[in-house]
Amino acid sequence: MAVPALRHYLLLLAQEHLEFRLPEITSLLSLYGGQFSGEQEIHVNSPFWILNIPSEEMARGLMKRTVCAKSIFELWGHGKSMGDLFASLMNYPMDKMLPYLQADSTYKVHIHTFNKTLTQAQKIEKIDALEFLPFKGKVNLKNPEHIFWILEDYGMNPNNVPEEPLYVYFGRWIADGQRELIESYSVKKRHFIGNTSMDACLSFIMANHGRVKPNDVVYDPFVGTGGLLISSAHFGAYVCGTDIDYNTIHGLGKASRKNQKWRGPDENIRANLRQYGLEKYYLDALVSDSSRPIWRKGMLFDAIITDPPYGIREATRRTGSQKETVKSAEKRYTEEIIPRHPCLKLISNCEQMLSSHTSRRLITMEKVKEFKDQDANSYLLDGQYMPYRGHNSFREKYFSGVTKRIAKEEKDNQK
């Protein structure tokens, strides 16, 4: 069976959550039956990636899911200078260009620059330089059938912007990503929130890392207010969760929102999914301690996506003797302390910085074999890694500063 020829596409990415972008795109390509080839031009921190994808259909499928990428283009030419770009365009097969350059079509050319702003006159000059291309249609700036982009990369250093771009691309716009989901699902607008509700962008990234798809069953063992259930349900999965906090599961107690003392009668996870028209995907949420087994043996879930109680990236400074401080500082994060299990294969490990001395990690694993009785104790790590397994020490260290600040404020108020 013949393998379809790979076509070159240019991906324009958002410059945030840089470590999460490659695993998201990799996961989504595999979800649609694609994969990274050995010729991919990926510069991890750059906003421009060249992908080799078998079809435009797959490119569109990718953009229906990604929140890390802004747009994708069929790449017609690229180079380190305008001269290189023109030479590349001259070598692009004419039969692939002509369907989009017909006399009965409309088009426009858009200029996008990274790390530099051009004047309108400079933009027009660059567009006019493309007159050697056989455009036969009419220009329509408001509603064109085809949109072509010139994209220029002026490097990553805002304090040292070159006069000429370091790299130039030209392509036909195919589709935009799902960046608008970040705003439409914003926690600020959500009916039911908690102090640690996962922000919308990371929720969708996590669902994409987990390759959540329609009719999957997705479980969150630390469900909280259900932020991760919402992103999974948006992609058509049926969702459920557990949490040890009775008040959170039932929407009772003090509210987390400013200027609101108590939660209302309809502040709960179900109401959150109803807010977005996703209630039909909600199975249920149970009060449960995740450290104790409650599920029968066998296949239950297609994906488990969660934000568990935090570990620590590296030891924070302790209150105590100098000897204790030095001992604690020696224990730093290493790849060897990543959770592991013989039934699971590590797919990606991404870091999100929280402060100068703390961070959290998004770890994605794939099940590669069925669980057997001899695997029951495989989650236990060597004793040397025990300091990293408990989240209580992180909690105590983190909140000790908060407690001191509150005590100081109360003391100041009494003066």
pLDDT band for position 410 (50/70/90)? low
Angstrom distance (rounded) from CA 141 to CA 376: 63
Tell me the per-residue pLDDT of 131-149, one tens digit each, with 9 for 90 and over: 999 999 999 999 999 999 9
Eight-state DSSP code of residue 280: G
Angstrom distance (rounded) from CA 8 to CA 1: 22
Tell me the per-residue pLDDT of 67-123, one tens digit each, with 9 for 90 and over: 999 999 999 999 999 999 999 999 999 999 999 999 999 999 999 999 999 999 999
Q: Using alpha carbons, list the distances in angstroms from residue 276 to 172, 269, 282.
A: 33, 12, 12
Which residue's entry shows tokens 């994409």? 208
Residue 208 C-beta-side C-alpha neighbours within 13 Å: 28
The pLDDT value recorded for residue 314 is: 35
pLDDT band for position 216 (50/70/90)? very high
Structure-model confidence comparison of residues 198 and 330, the more confident one: 198
Eight-state DSSP code of residue 385: G
The pLDDT value recorded for residue 394 is: 55
The pLDDT value recorded for residue 339 is: 79
Tell me the per-residue pLDDT of 304-358, one tens digit each, with 9 for 90 and over: 999 987 643 333 333 344 444 444 444 577 777 787 889 999 999 999 888 887 8
Mean pLDDT, residues 43-56 taken together: 92
Structure-model confidence comparison of residues 148 and 415, the more confident one: 148
Lowest pLDDT segment from 51-60, 80-89, 190-199: 190-199
Q: Where are the beta strands (DSSP E) in 177-275?
A: 217-220, 238-243
The pLDDT value recorded for residue 389 is: 52
The pLDDT value recorded for residue 38 is: 57
Q: Using alpha carbons, list the distances in angstroms from residue 206 to 47, 70, 266, 315.
A: 20, 17, 27, 26
Angstrom distance (rounded) from CA 278 to CA 81: 49
Mean pLDDT, residues 226-254 taken together: 93
Angstrom distance (rounded) from CA 352 to CA 331: 19
pLDDT band for position 405 (50/70/90)? low
Q: At what angle do helices 200-209 and 18-31 cross, to 10 degrees?
A: 40
Q: Which helix (H) or strand (E) holds 413?
A: helix 392-414
Mean pLDDT, residues 175-192 taken together: 94
Q: At what angle do helices 56-63 and 18-31 cross, to 10 degrees?
A: 130
Tell me the per-residue pLDDT of 25-36, one tens digit each, with 9 for 90 and over: 999 999 998 887
Instruction: Write the CB contacts of 329 (distance below 8 Å, at least 6 apart in sequence).
Output: 315, 317
pLDDT band for position 396 (50/70/90)? low
Average pLDDT, the chain: 86
**How is residue 133 written in tokens?**
């291309």
Mean pLDDT, residues 228-247 taken together: 96
Angstrom distance (rounded) from CA 343 to CA 7: 36
Which residue's entry shows tokens 């301690």? 289
Radius of gyration of the chain (CA): 26
The pLDDT value recorded for residue 235 is: 98
Angstrom distance (rounded) from CA 286 to CA 273: 16
**How is residue 257 written in tokens?**
């929102």
Tell me the per-residue pLDDT of 352-392, one tens digit each, with 9 for 90 and over: 888 887 888 899 999 999 888 887 777 665 444 455 555 55
The pLDDT value recorded for residue 371 is: 85
